[in-house]
Structure 1
Amino acid sequence: MRRQIVQATVILMAGVLIGAILFGGNAKSVVDSTSATSSVAAAEIAAVAQPAVDTYPVVRVVDGDTLAVEMNGKSVKVRLIGLDTPETVDPRKPVQCFGKEASAKAKELLTGKSIRLEKDASQGEYDKYGRLLAYVYLPDGTLFNKYMIAEGYGHEYTYNLPYKYQKEFKAAEVRARTEKKGLWADGACAGT
């Protein structure tokens, strides 16, 4: 219904302007008298053209590649596609080199934020631990999974099948290694 009103308003205004021009009227006065209407119509057109994007508040950062968001009133664990950061919370493993730094960076960038999630049909919806598989976008639009790889906080990780951003993530890891960022820096993991 709203879309029809906006379309009708746009068509009506176009007709008024064309009529004013064709019949010798003062187009400027017509535009001035309808400027408020046109501003509202433009805003409504923009609202219709921009689909709503669902964002989810981060309720907990587990480590560098796992977090929990609030979704439909429930806490849902999310495992980031294409990223593997060194372990910090697996009770079967010791804390791995650069794991604390990766977790700290994830907490710094995600805690208290509302993020956008993107699923990837090639990966399925959930992993074997029941975690939702997704790409995470920060409020500024940064693809968090790729950022963590590019800054040397983790590795590109292909679990089973190629995924949507695999080439980009692999290239980001190559750059991080070449530039010796994060865990790739000389001596970053010397003591472990």
Structure 2
Amino acid sequence: MPSNSQLFSMLSKNKRNLPVFLLLILTIFLFSVGIMPSETEKTPKESQVLSSTDFKDGQLYKVSRVIDGDTLEIENNGSFQKIRLIGVDTPETSDPRKEIECFGVEASNKSKELLEGKQIRLESDPTQQNKDRYERLLRYIYLEDGTNINLYLIAEGYAHEYTYDKPYEQQVEFIKAEDDARKQENGLWNNSICNYE
């Protein structure tokens, strides 16, 4: 970019450059006051994703979509955030690197039936990280009536109990729910459907 003295010298030598000079000055001014967009600004789609601190425990959020049995997306005032259920692992349906696992479609459909378009309450766990490596919030999910979806999916045989890195607050309850589901042959524990033995 030419210096101010070069611009004035160029302007004084050739009067035809006056409109170009004025346009350049106007453009610099508009960038400096923030009227014109800069290359570093986020696109509208990127700006619609709020930070994890914008999604508070205890508040109700609308489920915009269920990605699979243990992952969903919530919406808050036009912004979206993916959520991964703590302590839960449903059979795989959405990982393109893996085959669809036994009872995966049923687990995904049950999560859709329970959650899509519904209001849910989030609850974090102080023993767990806020987000996983895929930037999904790690949370317990509750329906408006108080139903713990994480526990429900395990107890009804739609999911396995899953401890990722370290124990979580509801781990003992989730392990017991899985043992009971296995004994009762609920869902994926029914040997005529899936054989996990």
What is the TM-score when the length of structure 1 is the normalising length?
Answer: 0.70
Equivalent-residue separation in structure 2 for 1:135 and 1:53 (angstroms): 11
Aligned residue for 2:174?
A: 169
Alpha-carbon offset, residue 124 of structure 1: 1.0
Equivalent-residue separation in structure 2 for 1:132 and 1:53 (angstroms): 14
Alpha-carbon deviations, 1:132-179, whole Å to 9, x = none? 000000121010000000000010000001001000000000000000
Instruction: Report matched runs for 1:22-61 at 5 Å.
Output: 53-61=58-66
Aligned residue for 1:88?
A: 93
1:180 counterpart = 2:185: yes
1:79 counterpart = 2:57: no
Alpha-carbon offset, residue 72 of structure 1: 5.0
Where structure 2 has 5 or more consecutive residues not aligned to the other structure, the ranges are: 1-56
Of Structure 1 and Structure 2, the greater helix share is in 1
Where structure 1 has 5 or more consecutive residues not aligned to the other structure, the ranges are: 1-51
Paired residue type of 1:183:
L
Aligned residue for 1:11?
A: none
Q: Does structure 1 conserve the Cα–Cα contact (< 8 Å) formed by 2:87 and 2:162? A: yes
Alpha-carbon offset, residue 73 of structure 1: 3.2
2:145 aligns with one of 140, 144, 156: 140
Q: Does structure 1 conserve the Cα–Cα contact (< 8 Å) formed by 2:58 and 2:123? A: no
Alpha-carbon offset, residue 112 of structure 1: 1.2
Equivalent-residue separation in structure 1 for 2:102 and 2:62 (angstroms): 29
Paired residue type of 1:106:
S
Q: Does structure 1 conserve the Cα–Cα contact (< 8 Å) formed by 2:156 and 2:186? A: yes
Paired residue type of 2:100:
V
Alpha-carbon deviations, 1:87-126, whole Å to 9, x = none? 0000000000000000000000001101000001211100
Equivalent-residue separation in structure 2 for 1:128 and 1:148 (angstroms): 23
Percent identity between matched residues is 58
Aligned residue for 1:65?
A: 70
Alpha-carbon deviations, 1:7-26, whole Å to 9, x = none? xxxxxxxxxxxxxxxxxxxx
**RMSD after superposition:** 1.3
Q: How many residues align?
A: 139
Query: Which aligned runs of 4 or more in structure 1 are off by greater than 2 angstroms?
Result: none
1:160 aligns with one of 157, 165, 168: 165
Paired residue type of 1:118:
E
